[in-house]
Amino acid sequence: MSREPQSQYLEDARGHIHYQVCGNGPWVVLCHALGTHLGIWTDLVAPLSRSCSVITFDLRGHGRSAPAADEDYSFEAMAADVRGLLQHVGARSAAVIGISVGGEVAQVFAAQYPQLVRSLVLCSTACVTGAERAVLWQRRMDEIEATGMSALASASVERWFTEEFRARHAATVDAFRRSLAAIAPRVYISMARTIQRMDLRPRIRGLSCPTLVICGDGDANTGPEAARIIVRNIRGAELSVIQGVAHFPNLEAPERFNRLVLEWLDPQKQQAAAP
């Protein structure tokens, strides 16, 4: 398999999914955040592909993937997309790495298809939406319906990145702002409603795969508190908190993030971490 990511498309009844594959070795699938695209994983793909076969993809309605024809943006539907991609490339199992909503998709995928999951890495994500966060999601949806995506996109990058990172990497921050602003409002609102109603705790309590949870200490919504709830509900899960970063540790601290992931995926580490 090529070391360089190769863009391809999977066509099904719900539309097409854009994905890229590269590397050689055990399969790893990467699930990105709401309002972003597979490019969020660029810093991880290169080192990961030296020892793994890596598949990244755009969630439906994001990047170069078409919106879902049936407008189903449930976690179950997104998990089924991951399963379809793995079957399409001939992967019998995979390590699944998800960030933000991608981490929630990864949790549901592991619960629905445990036989396909070797291990999990869950970053900047949650397993339940409490009352306070549900109100915040409702405000975001109301704002989109009133004014569109632009204002939300500008406010979101303020939450996603620390002030220092925004100052030093203005072009990167603006690229992510534009990516979010380009999402169709109906896609964002549908996924936001899924997150707003989320309680995955009953499902993840049955997981038995090795699980690493990562978060930034500066992430106000899916930081250490949300991470600890996941850890308490997945038997044997481990937690790593990266200091000085916000919602996207993989972008703000790529060397530290990549080291955690690569060490976690080491076969000896996996054997030791197995419940």
What pLDDT score does 270 carry? Answer: 63
Share of the chain above pLDDT 90, in %: 94
Confidence of residue 274 (pLDDT cuts 50, 70, 90): low
Fold of 6-128+200-273: Rossmann fold (3.40.50)
Q: What residues have CB less than 8 Å from 80, skipping those under 6 apart?
A: 112
Q: Which of 273, 229, 223, 274 is nearest to 249 (CA)?
A: 223
Per-residue tokens: 102: 């991608």
More confident site: 2 or 38: 38
Token pair of 160 as six digits: 């996603």
CB 94 within 8 A of CB 28: yes
**pLDDT greater than 80 at residue 272:** no
H-only helix segments in 127-169:
131-147, 150-160, 163-168
Farthest CA pair distance, the chain = 52
- pLDDT in the model for residue 4: 74
Q: In what order do the strands lie in the sheet with 94-99?
A: 6-12, 15-23, 53-57, 27-31, 94-99, 117-123, 211-216, 238-242
Give pLDDT, residue 275: 61
The percent of residues above 70 in pLDDT, for the chain, comes to 96
The residues that bridge with 28 in the sheet, in sequence order, are 54, 95
> How confident is the model over 235-246, as pLDDT tens digits?
999 999 999 999
Tens of pLDDT, residue by residue over 253-263, are: 999 999 999 99
Give the model's pLDDT for residue 39: 97
CA 96-121-177 angle, to 5 degrees, is 90
pLDDT at 184 over 90: yes
Section 78-84 average pLDDT: 98
Concatenated DSSP letters of 239-266: EEEETT--S-HHHHSHHHHHHHHHHHHS
pTM for this model (two decimals): 0.96
In the chain the first and final C-alpha atoms are separated, in Å, by 33
Say yes or no to pLDDT of 225 above 60: yes
The mean pLDDT value of the chain amounts to 95
Instruction: Write down the pLDDT at residue 6.
Output: 81
Rounded Cα gap, residues 273 and 83, in angstroms: 24
89-143: pLDDT as tens digits: 999 999 999 999 999 999 999 999 999 999 999 999 999 999 999 999 999 999 9
Place of tokens 């979101």: 156
